Amino acid sequence: MKKTLCILILALMISTGAYAAVEPVITVNGIRGTVNLIGAVNPAVTVNIRVSPGEKEGADADCWLVGNAFGRWYYYTPDAQWTDIGETLDVAKLRPVYQGKLFTLPQTDILYIPQPAAGNYTLYFGIDLNMNGKLDADSLVFEAVSVVVSESGKRSDFITAGWSAGLDKMLSFEDPTSQPAPKYPHDEKITDFVPLANGYGVQLTVVQLSANEGRYSLRTVPLSYPEKSNAVSETSLGVSSYPGVIANGNLIYLISNESEYRTDYAGGKCRIQVMDFSEPESPLTRGSIDIVGNYYAPIQGGKSYHNEGHILQMNGSTLILTYRPGYYGSMKNYDAGKDLFASPPKSGESPKPQGGVKIVDFSDADHPKLLSELSIDIGGNSDYALGSEGYFLNGKLLYFSYKNIIEADLNKRPQSKYYLGRIDLSNTSEPLRLASINIPGGCIGMDSSGKYAFTLGAEWRNDTDWYLSYTFNSVRLDNDKAFLADHLTLRNSAVSAVVSEGFAYLSIEGITIVDLSNPEKLKVYENSFPVTDTWLSILDVKNRKIFVSTSDGMSCYDASDPAKLLLNESVEHYGNKIAYSGNTAYLPMGYYGTWVKNLNN
């Protein structure tokens, strides 16, 4: 409880994607948003944080940790103390918990309370990129988490917390009456949803029991009205951790992970269990397979740009498990008098596995098998902090990006070379690694023919200063070489990017849309949003409907006219995955049920 955050941040490990946004994350008992505790059931509270600096790695910043409890405001100091500043939040009295360079901070426990008193608590963890010791709302990115501790046998009102890029949004979460009521009890939420082929869907639900343990179940509901009251079956899974599910017709692949530390790339075991929902009232358990060596999870539509340990689906019954380079050996647990994190091993101290893919065949649902494994040596000096990323499928070709750091220029500015890696999966028993192609930036997608690749890049603005210019590039591929077909200069870096149905959608102070119908002559449409909505991340796009996560919840924009986006619908909750059945989208939203969205309206 007295650990010093300043020391922890100085001991950060660098491991970030080149185009990720600055992301501070704070959780209570492993949960983001709101945690509801009942005294006699689960009174303990563990608070932890993590930081992803994105392209701001190494930038100067102020870091803030602010709390509100029992009507009073507090800030956390570098010497691990809470300072009371009174009943009113006077930002002039706040002091940063850390000032200095931004680095990646893995998940780190900062506070443990074994028996918190009944009441409502809210904690805010933020990063201000103007390092001056003052809280600057216009450069602040933060996340908030609320804890509702009830007396034994009683329930408290649910309080929603979320993201914002300004202090005014932070303060708006004080009023619980302004937030919609949850659809489900506070201790149950829907974490995943997949449609079946028989007109039903399966919800993955969880009741969080502790920071590292949950009670999971699968609930079968009709697609026409996927509410709990209409469920035809519910199956308790009897396991503690399921990050996601994948559907194939009426079969479900459940992905669970067993690892002492999730930060350990090589110490985990993934189990994929097949369940058959052909009879939705009486689902059957079929075969399973254990994959040793990594932590795995399904990704959203195969469009994830920066990822590791993710699962892609090809032809229904074939799963591709990707992994990045990482060092064997786990991170150390916190222990008094010892460092919280182990330092990365030096050269020669321990073996370093290569990145690669594992291909698993589920065509025999009772006897799934590992078909093949292909190790990927990306060469150069891409060590544990870099590696392959952005895997995505295009037909029978698996693409991924990676970069190698090269010699700095005359002004000692870092330089990198990006490459497009390719794996031919025509024969999944013997995947074939094709020659890599040097490309301008990380690849975010291809056209349907595979002739053109689309990348996001960055270059120094001129020959002397350290300011970056961000680009979108169309690249023609020919005989293992790339030729620049067209090039756009962007007004800023993209927070997220999705290539879908002949367009690229970029989150850049709004949504920038690039028409890819003629890759040799790109057409760009920039749609700026009001200041309060400039932070957004694109989750997915289908039928010209753009699903985004904003500071206020989830929104769907209609891009039928790319020059003029129209807000189609929005909700005040959050989801991180979309499943589709025909022209209907299903978004699991935790305590708030499932957002069902017709893509034709």
Beta carbons of 365 and 286 less than 8 angstroms apart: yes
Q: Scan for tokens 């999730």, then name that residue.
A: 262
Q: Name every residue whose Cβ is closer than 8 Å to that of residue 487 and which is 6 or more positions away in sequence.
A: 440, 471, 472, 473, 474
* Length of the chain (residues): 601
Beta carbons of 507 and 533 less than 8 angstroms apart: no
- Structure tokens belonging to residue 106: 């893995």
- Structure tokens belonging to residue 282: 């009486």
Q: Which residues pair with 13 in a beta bridge?
A: none
Beta carbons of 354 and 325 less than 8 angstroms apart: yes
Fill in the DSSP letter of residue 214: E
> Which pLDDT does position 186 carry in this prediction?
57
> Which pLDDT does position 403 carry in this prediction?
80
Closest CA to 194 of 238, 236, 244, 255: 244
Q: Within a 13 Å sphere around the CA of 277, how many CA atoms are in the beta-carbon half?
A: 30
Residue 170 parent element (H or E)? helix 167-172
Farthest CA pair distance, the chain: 69
> Which pLDDT does position 337 carry in this prediction?
36
What is the distance between the alpha carbons of residues 379 and 440, in angstroms, rounded to a whole number?
Answer: 18
Please state, as a whole number, how many other Cβ atoms lie within 10 Å of the Cβ of residue 130: 14
Beta carbons of 325 and 348 less than 8 angstroms apart: no
Beta carbons of 558 and 571 less than 8 angstroms apart: no
Beta carbons of 455 and 439 less than 8 angstroms apart: yes
What is the distance between the alpha carbons of residues 5 and 78, in angstroms, rounded to a whole number?
Answer: 6
Residue 7 parent element (H or E)? helix 5-10
DSSP string, 94-128: ---SEEEE---EEEEEEEEESSPPSEEEEEEEEEE
Pairing mode of beta strands 98-101, 189-195? unpaired
CA distances to 21, 200, 505, 537, 579 from 597, in Å: 28, 16, 20, 18, 10
Backbone angles phi, psi at 367, to 5 degrees: -140, 65
Over the chain (601 residues), what is each successive 10-residue block's mean pLDDT? 33 30 79 59 72 87 89 86 87 90 85 78 89 85 79 34 25 33 66 94 84 78 86 79 85 80 54 93 91 71 51 91 54 33 41 71 96 78 47 88 78 84 94 92 89 90 81 92 93 87 91 95 85 70 92 89 91 87 92 89 81
CA distances to 6, 73, 373 from 127, in Å: 14, 18, 41
> Which pLDDT does position 372 carry in this prediction?
94
Fill in the DSSP letter of residue 91: G
Fill in the DSSP letter of residue 171: H
Closest CA to 97 of 60, 125, 68: 125
SS3 content of the chain, % helix, strand, coil (to 5): 5, 50, 45
| Per-residue 3-state assignment (H helix, E strand, C coil) for 397-448 | EEEEEEEEEECCCCCCCCEEEEEEEEEECCCCCCCEEEEEEEECCEEEEECC
Closest CA to 22 of 109, 110, 142: 142
